[in-house]
Amino acid sequence: MASLTSTKPVGKGMENGCEPTPMEKHVMFFDTNNDGVIYPWETYRGFRRIGSGFLLSIGITIFIHVILSSRTRPGKWPSPLFPIVVKNIKHGKHGSDTGAYDSEGKFVPSKFEEIFKKHARINPNALTSAEVDELLRDNREPKDYLGWIGAISEWKVLYLLAKDDKGMLPKDRVRGVYDGSLFEQMAKDHASKQKA
């Protein structure tokens, strides 16, 4: 099972050098220069490093930064560079999600386990594509269209990039996405395949 600790140094954007929350760790992989701010080009490169295709990387980068930049940046005026401030990522939490992060960006183990207790029927430690669809339907809050879109995009991209060769999304990989460790592992795996 993945660890909730990160070996990545805390960027200047982290408050008082405090240990980052799991939600902050979730996005820190994309902060390539460790300055506490993630720019679209960093997100794009991060998705390419984990094996995402060109078009998916561009599309998901645009989607993420358009949605999260205004929520995580201080001040009222938008930035043309659409940066995401890591220490404020908790403000990017959307509705219709699993609840595995609380409102402060802390990991909630019981909510994480609930995902698999409720939806993993074929294998108690993995999700099929149909089980992911069921999870998304069950978590929908009425008229929370932006939350639905956020949850669908997160889970569908996760399934596409992290499923195993049997079409299953393993529990340890889902856990790793919540603490950010999965991205580092996927980048190493992708780099190894490129060398072979």
From CA 52, how far away is CA 69, in angstroms rounded? Answer: 22
Task: Name the helix (H) or strand (E) containing 50.
Answer: none
- pLDDT interval class at 49 (50, 70, 90): very high
Residue 126 CA neighbour count, 13 Å, CB half: 14
Percent of the chain with pLDDT over 90: 85
Percent helix, strand, coil in the chain (nearest 5)? Answer: 55, 5, 40
From CA 170, how far away is CA 164, in angstroms rounded? Answer: 7
* 82-125 pLDDT tens trace: 999 999 999 999 999 999 999 999 999 999 999 999 999 999 99
Distances (CA, A) of 63 to 66, 114, 155: 5, 28, 14
Mean pLDDT of 28-51: 97
Q: Contact, 37 vs 83, CB < 8 A?
A: yes
pTM for this model (two decimals): 0.87
Nearest Cα neighbor of 82 from 64, 94, 60 is: 64
- pLDDT interval class at 3 (50, 70, 90): very low
The pLDDT mean for the chain works out to 91
What is residue 194's predicted lDDT score, i.e. its pLDDT?
87
Residue the block writes with tokens 């930064």: 65
What is residue 193's predicted lDDT score, i.e. its pLDDT?
87
